[in-house]
Each structure stands twice: as structure tokens, then as C-alpha cells.
Amino acid sequence: MQKKYQTIDDFLSDSSFKEWVYSGKENEQWDEWISRNGNLVELLEQAKLYLMAMKVNEPLITENEVNEALSHTWEKIYQKENVWYFGIIKYYNQHKALSKIAALLLFGLSLVWIYNRHNTHESTLAYEDLIEKQDDGLIEEANNTTKPQLVILSDGSSVLLQPNSKLSYPKFFDKNERNVFLQGEAFFEISKNPQRPFYVYSNEVVTKVVGTSFRIKAYKDQPEVDVVVRTGKVQVSSNKDLTSAFKTVVLLPNQSIRFQRKSLMFDQVETIVQTNPQGNTEVIESINFEFVDAPVSQIFESLQKAYLIHIDYPEEKLKDCYLTTSLSDQPLAEKLKIICESLGSNTRYEMNGNQVSIFSTGCN
């Protein structure tokens, strides 16, 4: 509320007034204001009528449409920046004398660059190097089996660690950021927390997110690092410690990027048409978590398959329970919580390693 309302404009341009009118609810502050300013009630009532008569129908724009427009905008930017680059080449071709100077300059610069590269003996960063720099104790989870292994982090995020892969993480995360270290391949579902960004360090690549799901492939003996985004938005960079040509790329859902470890460069961003080209139905990305009027048994079945866990639940009591819910963008703990809450107040879950137990007396 502002201090003074003297004209109709004072009311109409005041967001707290608009909020109050549009909410259609009682508000003590305004009731009090009215009782103190009887002479202005007429003006206030008029302002209300104006608001009712000034509605603007806004077209519904879904989040997907916004994301699409954003992707498209980035494409336009890349195109425009490339056109500039070719424009410069053309300019120098037309000015032959200048082009010789430019060529000399370029030659000189490349010498400097080669010299610098020669002097930085470490051009790759491995998992061990990354871990070494961390002074406080990290927990390491290594998957030496042949099946993906589920790791639940202290913030509720879930990680599906693939065979021959390792993940290091602190028991409790820092107040301001969440850092984990990966060698090999894993699928991440990060619990949302914008104030506490989540960083995955994998070889030379750093992936930053606030809450989303994505897969990283960063094997020690492979020449590339791949990041594939399923939901949300991810920022991928080369590790700052390593390259002077630090670069950042933003990925949106169903986009992927490849980092060449040798040249320390990113390839072009690619859009994935099919999330699972190998047709491997065991991969978590291929499992649909959008349920419409689905029996809970089916939902639990999908969870078991996706996370390779075992869920114990009272089948008889829950046999008539159906749910419509969207669980795509949530880590496992969040998925379980949503299911239990939807089933009603007398349902809860407990998790112990790969074993999940659902306790319930039935659904509402």
C-alpha cells in the first residue's frame, strides 16, 4: 500500500490495490484504510469498476512454448554471430594490404598460443586430480557390478550410477553449492534449489544445474565427454582451472553436447529426436513417468524398473487406487513423496538401500 491515494490513477497504478481487487478477498489493511478515509471510498469504488472493465485477455503460452522460443532465439544468435565472422573474412579479402598484416598477426598469435599450450603440461583433468583438490572427506561410491546402481544424496537428489563408474560426494553439502565428482556415466535427477546450485565435475567439464535431470558420460579412457539433458536447463562449461579459453554452453531439454577432451572444445549443440535410440527399454530416460488414471501397482512397477529398486507395498489395500500424476522432473525421493501424499495422509514410505517399503491403510 502506498501512503496517499488522491486520484483514480493512484489506485489503478498500485499493485497492492490491484492484487486486492483481483483476489476478490477481504483484506484487513484495506478495510482499515476504508474506515479511515470515508471521503475517498467513492473514488476507490470507481477504481474497482475500472479494473473490472479493463481486463486484457492474455493468450496462454505454455512453458514448452517459452522454451522453444528461447532455443530458437539462441539459434538466431549463433547464426548472426557466424555471419559476422564471415563478414570480417570478406572485408579482409577486399583489402589485400590489410589482409597481409592480419595474416602476420595471426601467425604471431598462433606461435604465442602454441608456446602457451606447450607450457601447460596438463591438458586433461581426470577424476583423481579433481578429488585430490578436495580437502574434506568425500564418500566414494563405485559401481563394479553389471547393472546401474542407485545413489541417494543428502539433498534428496538421485543418481543412477552406471557400471564401471564412480561418484564422489560429501555426506552433507555445502551451504551455498552442491559439488559431486564423476568418472564414467550417470543419470542425475537433482532436487530443485536455486540458491544452492548443483555442480558435477567430470573430467574437464563442469555441469551446473539448479534442479533438473540429465545424463553425463565421462569415462577416463574416452576422448569425449557427453552431456544429455532430459528436463530443465543445464549450464555446461570447461573447467576453469584448465583452459584459458573458458567456454559456457546452455542446454535445454532434449539437447546434448559433446566436449572434445584433446582440443578442449565443445561440438555443436544437438537436439535429440529420440531419447533412446538404442531401443533399450531398461534405460531410465525411456520410461514414461506421466500417469493418467494409472493403478499404483503400475506406477511402482515403473519405479522399480527405472531405479532398479525393490518396492514392498500392501497390494490388497492399494489394489483399487488410481493416480493421475506427472513425475518426470523429480528425483526418486520426491516421486515417492508425491505418490504417498496423493494416496492420502495414512500412507508413507521408508527407504533402505535399494529396498523401499510403503506403509498404507488404503487410499481416499
Partner 1 sequence: MAIKISDETLWKRLREGDELAFSTLFERYFRSLVNYGNSLMAYSDKVQDCVQDVFVDIWIYRNSLQESVVVKAYLIASLRRRAFRMVERDHIFNKATSDEKLDFLIDFSIEDQLIHEEFTAIKVKRLNELLNQLPSRQKEAIYLRYHQGLNIEQIAETMDINYQSANNLIYRGLQQIRSAWPEDFALVLLMISEYL
The alpha carbon dihedral of 304, 308, 310, 311 has a sign of negative
Question: What is the CB neighbour count within 10 angstroms for residue 73?
Answer: 10
Of the pair 72, 310, the CB lying nearest partner 1 is at: 72
Of the pair 61, 112, the CB lying nearest partner 1 is at: 61
In whole angstroms, what is the distance from residue 312 CA to residue 315 CA?
9
> Strand 270-271 and strand 255-260: pairing?
antiparallel
Among 16, 19, 32, 69, binds partner 1 (CB under 8 A): 69
Q: Are 268 and 260 in contact (CB under 8 A)?
A: no
Of the pair 75, 282, the CB lying nearest partner 1 is at: 75
Q: Which stretch binds partner 1 (CB under 8 A): 66-74, 258-266, 298-306, 354-362?
A: 66-74
Under the phi-then-psi rule, with left for phi > 0, alpha for psi from -120 to 50, and beta for the rest, what region is 356? beta
Of the pair 4, 55, the CB lying nearest partner 1 is at: 55
Among 3, 4, 54, 262, binds partner 1 (CB under 8 A): 54
Q: Is 319 in the site for partner 1 (CB under 8 A)?
A: no
Q: Is 31 in the site for partner 1 (CB under 8 A)?
A: no
Q: Is 76 in the site for partner 1 (CB under 8 A)?
A: yes
Min CB(189)–partner 1 separation in Å: 18
Q: Which stretch binds partner 1 (CB under 8 A): 75-83, 96-104, 137-145, 216-224?
A: 75-83
In whole angstroms, what is the distance from residue 329 CA to residue 288 CA?
11
Among 10, 12, 301, 362, binds partner 1 (CB under 8 A): 12
Q: Are 356 and 346 in contact (CB under 8 A)?
A: no
Among 2, 13, 324, 361, binds partner 1 (CB under 8 A): 13
Backbone phi and psi for residue 90, each to the nearest 5 degrees, phi listed first = -60, -40
Q: Are 276 and 297 in contact (CB under 8 A)?
A: no
Place of cell 578429488: 131
Closest CA to 205 of 239, 182, 179: 239
Q: Is 9 in the site for partner 1 (CB under 8 A)?
A: yes
Q: Is 352 in the site for partner 1 (CB under 8 A)?
A: no
Q: Which stretch binds partner 1 (CB under 8 A): 74-82, 89-97, 133-141, 310-318?
A: 74-82
Q: Is 87 in the site for partner 1 (CB under 8 A)?
A: no
Long-range contacts of 26-34 (CB under 8 A, 24+ apart): 29/1, 30/1, 33/1
Q: Is 326 in the site for partner 1 (CB under 8 A)?
A: no
DSSP string, 134-163: --S--EEEEE-SSS-EEEE-TTS-EEEEPT
Min CB(52)–partner 1 separation in Å: 4
Q: Is 15 in the site for partner 1 (CB under 8 A)?
A: yes
In whole angstroms, what is the distance from residue 303 CA to residue 149 CA?
14
> Strand 165-169 and strand 224-231: pairing?
unpaired
Of the pair 66, 89, the CB lying nearest partner 1 is at: 66
Place of cell 542446454: 251
Residue window 223-242: x/- pattern of binding to partner 1, with contact defined by CB under 8 A: ----------x-x-------
Q: Which stretch binds partner 1 (CB under 8 A): 63-71, 152-160, 223-231, 342-350?
A: 63-71
Of the pair 47, 218, the CB lying nearest partner 1 is at: 47
Q: Is 1 in the site for partner 1 (CB under 8 A)?
A: no
3-state SS assignment for residue 313: coil
In whole angstroms, what is the distance from residue 151 CA to residue 148 CA?
10
Q: Are 183 and 164 in contact (CB under 8 A)?
A: no
Q: Is 72 in the site for partner 1 (CB under 8 A)?
A: yes
Q: Which of residues 167-186 bind partner 1 (CB under 8 A)?
A: none
Where on the chain is the footprint of partner 1 (CB under 8 A)?
8-9, 12-13, 15, 21-22, 24, 41-42, 45-46, 49-59, 61, 66, 69-70, 72-73, 76-77, 80-81, 192, 194-195, 233, 235, 248-250
